[in-house]
Amino acid sequence: MKRKTWVWILGGLVSALVLVVAGVMLYIRFALPNVPLQSIKVNATAENVERGRYLANHVTVCMDCHSTRAWDRFSGPPIPGTLGKGGEVFDQKMGFPGSFSSPNITPFNLSDWSDAEIYRAITSGEGRDGRALFPVMPYFAYGTLDTEDILSIIAYIRTIPDIHNTPPLSNPAFPMNMIVRIFPVAAHPVQRPSESDSVKYGEYLVRASGCIECHTEAEHGQIVKALSFSGGREFIMPNGVLTSPNITPDMETGIGKMSREDFIKRFKGYDPENYKAPKLGLKDMQTIMPWIMYAGMEVKDLAAIYAYLHSLPPRTNVVVRWKHL
Ligand code: HEC
Ligand code: HEC
């Protein structure tokens, strides 16, 4: 073939490729996310609201991220009167690809959202305005919970006191502002396992409470599945580097030697009824493990979590929990 023909063919191929890429970019920019709304309706019985209160404050710990925290004290106890107010910031300094701030989830912001819109935001990460949420909020995990549990949480957050506050919108950095649009997917809920199967029930609670997110090493903000629960995720704190410990049942480097009673006691030790979080000195370790919220978990639920963690394959991983800067 003549050289000129080759140039034409190549030129044509390059133009076609440019068109395809542009088409994909336009599709992502203007057509995604597009998770359909489901026909669901909250049944706000006193029992459902109570179940939702328990989950939102002590298991799925929604209030951990959507309230103001006293970060000058150990584990950042939520400040009374700020429940659901929003405004906690997760930004580049902490290793996030942009600046994300938790929205207000009191009725002040959500009263004109339908139940289906709130359900979709929590379980799929698509906001009411079609905004794709960044999975700081573990919506992939929430999307696998029992629909009844999510509906109870919605019933509860509709009852919390109104707080007038409008935190700034999140601002994902390029290219995450494009990529994030691909993330929202429809929920694929399961039925909550029976409590008599403590390992299965424990697995459900672990999924609901996001343990895996913090207790697994991450690359580019995504956890490495093969290293699940073996710790090693680093968190940059103002005065040091915090690294999550290994919570697989490895005897030497994990929680293999921790008895069920000690595990439960460890959590219950932070019950705000008897525990007052101490003010931190400049060199003290701060933690993002929401001990104070989890402390409200029922003993039977903590026991199930222990049973599940102890059913996992032990993984050896030595972690230095705190390096003071
Ligand atoms: C680890 C922190 C974290 C947890 C836990 C969490 N959220 Fe969020 N949530 C966020 C952040 C951050 C955003 C905003 C993300 C963004 O803008 O990209 C958000 C967004 C939302 C939105 C969308 C609101 C709007 O105005 O767009 C709702 C509703 C919501 N969360 C409810 C909940 C509920 C209910 C739970 C518990 C089941 C929960 N969140 C747990 C951090 C969290
Ligand atoms: C937001 C991040 C985060 C979440 C969510 C989280 N953890 Fe942690 N966890 C940490 C960090 C960091 C530490 C180390 C600092 C400390 O002891 O507080 C820790 C410490 C622990 C310890 C103490 C281990 C030891 O050897 O002393 C246990 C046990 C534990 N977590 C279990 C869990 C379980 C179970 C869950 C889910 C119900 C969970 N964590 C959820 C971050 C987290």
Residues 114-143 have pLDDT tens digits of 999 999 999 999 999 899 999 999 999 999
Mean of pLDDT values over 284-312? 97
Structure tokens at 176: 């995450």
Taking a C-beta distance cutoff of 8 angstroms, is the pair 249, 310 a contact? yes
On average, the pLDDT of the chain sits at 95
Nearest CA to ligand 2 atom 33: 211
The rounded distance, in Å, linking the Cα atoms of 242 and 136 is 18
The rounded distance, in Å, linking the Cα atoms of 32 and 26 is 9
Ligand nearest to the CA of 139: 1
Q: How far away, in angstroms, is 274 Cα from ligand 1 center?
A: 29
Nearest CA to ligand 2 atom 12: 244
Checking if the pLDDT of 90 tops 80, the result is yes
Taking a C-beta distance cutoff of 8 angstroms, is the pair 133, 127 a contact? yes
Can you tell me which atom of ligand 1 is nearest the CA of 90?
12
pLDDT value for 31? 82
C-beta 247 within 6 A of ligand 1: no
Q: How far away, in angstroms, is 244 Cα from ligand 2 center?
A: 6
Q: How far away, in angstroms, is 222 Cα from ligand 2 center?
A: 18
Nearest CA to ligand 1 atom 8: 137
**Given pLDDT bands bounded at 50, 70 and 90, which one contains residue 29?**
confident
| 119 CB-near residues (< 8 Å, 6+ apart) | 38, 40, 147, 150, 151, 154, 187
pLDDT value for 26? 86
pLDDT value for 219? 83
Mean of pLDDT values over 308-319? 98
Q: Is 98 left (phi over 0), alpha (psi -120 to 50) or beta?
A: left
**Cα–Cα nearest to 74, from 306, 280, 282, 289:** 280
Q: Radius of gyration over alpha carbons of the chain, in Å? A: 22
> How far, in Å, are 95, 235, 284 from residue 323 at the CA level?
17, 11, 10
C-beta 62 within 6 A of ligand 2: no
Q: How far away, in angstroms, is 66 Cα from ligand 2 center?
A: 19
Cis amide bond preceding 77, omega within 30 = no
Cis amide bond preceding 138, omega within 30 = no
CA 228 from centre of chain: 15
Q: How far away, in angstroms, is 49 Cα from ligand 2 center?
A: 28
pLDDT value for 112? 96
Query: How many CB atoms are located within 10 Å of the residue 313 CB?
Result: 10
> How far, in Å, are 57, 131, 161 from residue 169 at the CA level?
24, 10, 22
